[in-house]
């Protein structure tokens, strides 16, 4: 006979423990256990419930499908976006970075670039607005475009001046920097938080500023966003100004010329790293000259003029427990090694990417193997090597699935016309929304930060709503049955109202973000931007399915055959067309914003052939777009001007003349912009 009271006691203890883990993970940003331990506990609870009908709890993992979105702080837009940075790991990465800069500026290899080298503190980014020298407000980084208003909490930091009286201080400026906790101070907080970064994050997001005040938060300033009246020409001078204005700056900042010297400084700082009282995860290199920064501009969400050089990786040894096949939104099958949890550089690692089928074969990776795991910066941990001496006799070669584990469709390796080889990645051949795993990943992408950015609709909730058949297609997100959600365990009226509010707020979206949200293969943020500028309106974009005029897309500078084939494949699928039609009824999709409606080059198209003097094609393209013009990638009747430099392509010039297109040189082009060469 079963002992009901004993089973009930065990069950309730497990529920209580799970609730504690949830609290630390979701509310305190400080996970208590690894994913494996957490998942195992949930599984144990669900097994007990299946065995015994009398076991029930509103906090059961079988009933909870989501958590309330944070509404502690109001969201506000940054006047100037807080961009992310590209990463470098090797000297070659830095050489390529500098080479791209020189190419863009059309300078010779002998041209010396001076950098501001600034160690990157591993904390929480914040942007602080001053007007007439007075601290007005402060935002978290958020998604780069929109942050949380954490003014009252930032006001408790002693390192942030509240009033600046210097005569050279701008009339308005956003001072940006990093909020962090020193390693010494963290010793008194480590029972509450997983690491110093989590401690800084959790403290800044306290509802009560008086609680934030109790935490020894520091602030180091390093850059600015919006400014009005800044009279500084270089980053190094700006850092000096920051100190004069009362801000703290990184004591290890340096001004350096040449990649070799950057490497020497990198090695010097890396050696000092263990003895520092604050965590740093790399060095940020910024072109020192602000006028060069302005010329270089940005690509997608990162500046061309800066890069983060990450420190060497951390390594550890573990055992592969299993190999799991994950399916992405483009159908790519990615093998992931489930390993015995191991602490690498202060982070508990329980998964490591195996990249693709070829990587598994090349390294002969098998379940049960003892392996060396590497974790470098923010890069996903991966397996460096297998210790063959420790391999068990019963070990078998891992066989990659030829059928999709989700929908059973055939998996394929596509032929790459450029490399003349099959791709390394194997994909599910299912199109549209037929494959469950692809559909779920597409929905996660649809609500992600760079796409619709819907608060309270994270990855776990998307998965939960899918299982409950609340959403199957993107349009279902805007037709949710909120009455049904409110009745679910873990949800209440307030959390449902918050979710409904978040979703309704996002019914108004820009064309470029909408195109990106669709998850079309090979169409990232930059390509979505190019397409939005080409189509201007959603109706013209959608009409591709009717017109089938895909060849015209090849005229978009930056869009190639690979992207066009992906777009063609997307529009050839009926379920995708149905999704577009349904979303059109629900959303307000704003027309693409052009740089200037009345620029000097309005309604004019350009193409460059040959080498120009002192200016690159990329910079010419930027100048054309800034002045309302457009660049296309080939000579056609749609071309107005062919700009020729040294050694132009004769075929292009001859064809342009044949079509009676005006051929101009660099001086004539600059004259059109009222500039001299």
What is the chain's Cα-based Rg?
A: 28
Torsion of CA 170, 172, 174, 175, to 10 degrees: 30
CA 622, 628, 632, 636 torsion-angle sign: negative
Q: SS3 for 594?
A: coil
CA 376, 381, 382, 383 torsion-angle sign: positive
By C-alpha distance, which of 376, 327, 389, 309 is closest to 349?
Answer: 376
CA 266, 270, 275, 279 torsion-angle sign: positive
Distances in whole angstroms, Cα of residue 326 to Cα of each of 107, 283, 382, 552, 569: 45, 33, 15, 36, 23
N-term to C-term CA, the chain: 94
Distances in whole angstroms, Cα of residue 561 to Cα of each of 516, 557, 573: 18, 12, 19
How far is residue 630's CA from residue 523's CA, in Å, rounded to a whole number? 20
The CA-based diameter of the chain, rounded to the nearest angstrom, is 96
Identify the active-site residue in 9, 42, 50, 120.
120
By C-alpha distance, which of 496, 489, 495, 494 is closest to 58?
Answer: 489
Q: Residue 213 burial (CB < 10 Å; 0-12/13-18/19+)?
A: middle
Our answer to whether residue 120 is catalytic in this structure is: yes
By C-alpha distance, which of 484, 513, 514 is closest to 499?
Answer: 484
State the DSSP H helix or E strand holding residue 664, giving kind and residue range, or none if neither. strand 662-665
Q: Which residues are catalytic?
A: 120
């Amino acid at each position: 006979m079963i002992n009901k009271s004993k089973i009930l006691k065990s069950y309730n203890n497990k529920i209580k423990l799970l609730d504690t883990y949830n609290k630390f993970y979701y509310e305190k940003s400080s996970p208590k256990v690894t994913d494996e331990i957490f998942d195992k506990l949930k599984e144990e609870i669900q097994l007990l419930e299946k065995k015994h009908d009398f076991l029930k709890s509103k906090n059961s993992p079988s009933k909870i499908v989501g958590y309330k979105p944070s509404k502690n702080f109001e969201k506000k837009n940054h006047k100037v976006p807080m961009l992310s940075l590209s990463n470098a790991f090797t000297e070659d990465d830095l050489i390529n970075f500098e080479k791209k800069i020189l190419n863009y500026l059309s300078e010779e290899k002998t041209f010396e670039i001076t950098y501001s080298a600034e160690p990157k503190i591993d904390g929480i980014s914040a942007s602080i607005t001053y007007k007439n020298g007075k601290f007005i407000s402060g935002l978290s980084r958020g998604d780069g475009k929109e942050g949380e208003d954490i003014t009252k909490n930032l006001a408790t930091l002693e390192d942030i001046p509240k009033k600046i009286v210097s005569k050279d201080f701008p009339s308005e400026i956003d001072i940006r920097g990093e909020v962090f906790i020193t390693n010494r101070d963290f010793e008194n907080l480590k029972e509450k938080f997983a690491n110093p970064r989590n401690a800084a994050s959790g403290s800044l997001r306290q509802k009560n500023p008086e609680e934030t005040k109790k935490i020894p938060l520091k602030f180091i300033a390093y850059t600015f966003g919006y400014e009005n009246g800044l009279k500084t020409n270089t980053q190094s001078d700006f850092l000096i100004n920051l100190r004069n204005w009362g801000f703290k700056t990184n004591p290890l900042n340096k001004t350096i010329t040449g990649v070799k010297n950057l490497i020497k400084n990198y090695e010097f700082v890396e050696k000092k790293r263990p003895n520092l009282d604050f965590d740093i995860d790399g060095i940020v290199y910024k072109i020192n000259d602000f006028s060069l920064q302005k010329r270089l501009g940005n690509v997608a969400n990162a500046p061309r003029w800066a890069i983060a050089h990450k420190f060497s990786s951390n390594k550890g040894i573990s055992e592969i427990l299993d190999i799991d096949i994950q399916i992405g939104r483009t159908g790519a099958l990615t093998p992931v090694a489930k390993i015995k949890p191991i602490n690498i550089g202060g982070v508990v690692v329980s998964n490591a990417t195996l990249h693709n089928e070829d990587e598994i074969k090349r390294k002969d990776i098998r379940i049960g193997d003892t392996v060396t795991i590497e974790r470098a910066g923010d890069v996903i941990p991966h397996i460096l090597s297998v210790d063959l001496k420790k391999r068990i006799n019963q070990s078998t070669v891992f066989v990659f699935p030829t059928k999709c584990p989700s929908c059973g469709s055939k998996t394929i390796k596509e032929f790459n016309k450029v490399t003349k080889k099959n791709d390394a990645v194997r994909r599910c051949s299912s199109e549209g929304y037929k494959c469950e795993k692809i559909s779920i990943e597409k929905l996660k992408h649809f609500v992600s930060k760079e796409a619709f950015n819907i608060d309270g609709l994270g990855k776990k909730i998307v998965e939960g709503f899918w299982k409950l058949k609340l959403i199957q297609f993107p349009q279902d997100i805007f037709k949710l049955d909120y009455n049904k959600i409110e009745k679910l365990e873990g949800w209440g009226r307030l959390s449902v109202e918050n979710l409904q509010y978040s979703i309704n707020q996002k019914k108004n979206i820009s064309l470029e973000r909408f195109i990106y949200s669709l998850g079309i293969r090979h169409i990232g943020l930059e390509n979505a931007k190019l397409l939005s500028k080409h189509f201007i309106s959603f109706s013209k974009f959608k009409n591709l399915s009717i017109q089938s005029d895909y060849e015209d897309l090849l005229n978009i500078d930056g869009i190639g055959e690979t992207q066009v084939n992906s777009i063609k494949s997307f529009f050839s699928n009926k379920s995708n067309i149905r999704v577009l039609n349904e979303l059109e009824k629900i959303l307000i999709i704003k027309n693409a914003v052009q740089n200037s409606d009345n620029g000097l080059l309005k309604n004019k198209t350009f193409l460059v052939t040959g080498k120009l003097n002192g200016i690159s094609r990329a910079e010419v393209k930027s100048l054309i777009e800034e002045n309302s013009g457009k660049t296309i990638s080939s000579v056609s009747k749609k071309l107005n001007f062919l700009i020729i430099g040294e050694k132009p392509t004769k075929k292009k010039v001859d064809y342009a003349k044949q079509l009676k297109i005006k051929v101009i040189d660099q001086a004539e082009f600059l004259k059109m912009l009222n500039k001299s060469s």
